[in-house]
Amino acid sequence: MTTWIIAYSKDGNTNILRTESDRQPDIDEAVELVTRKAEQDYADEDNAYEHDPDLEETPATRLNERFGITVTGISQA
């Protein structure tokens, strides 16, 4: 198994999430992993960001709207 690092930005700070996988996670998998972590770490901030009805509803936009988080990269450790 390979260790992968998912980088994400929240409130101007870069954070990382490490995961083990035989292959590089795609962006949808990365967003799902970061969303699960955010639900644990930032549950009290849920819905703290403004909803923009003009944005397409995707897991990535929901992550950004709920927690102010944007996945910025996926790399091998």
Q: Residue 20 contacts by C-beta under 8 Å, 6 or more apart in sequence?
A: 1, 2, 3, 4
pLDDT tens digits, 45-77:
655 556 666 667 899 988 988 889 999 999 999
Q: Report the number of distinct structural domains present in the chain.
A: 1
- What is the reported pTM? 0.85
Q: Residue 52 contacts by C-beta under 8 Å, 6 or more apart in sequence?
A: 65
Give the three-class secondary structure for 6: strand
Structural domain containing residue 43: 2-76
Provide the terminal-to-terminal Cα distance of the chain, rounded to the nearest Å.
Answer: 11
pLDDT tens digits, 15-37:
999 999 999 999 999 999 999 99
Q: Do 27 and 7 meet the contact criterion of CB atoms below 8 Å apart?
A: no
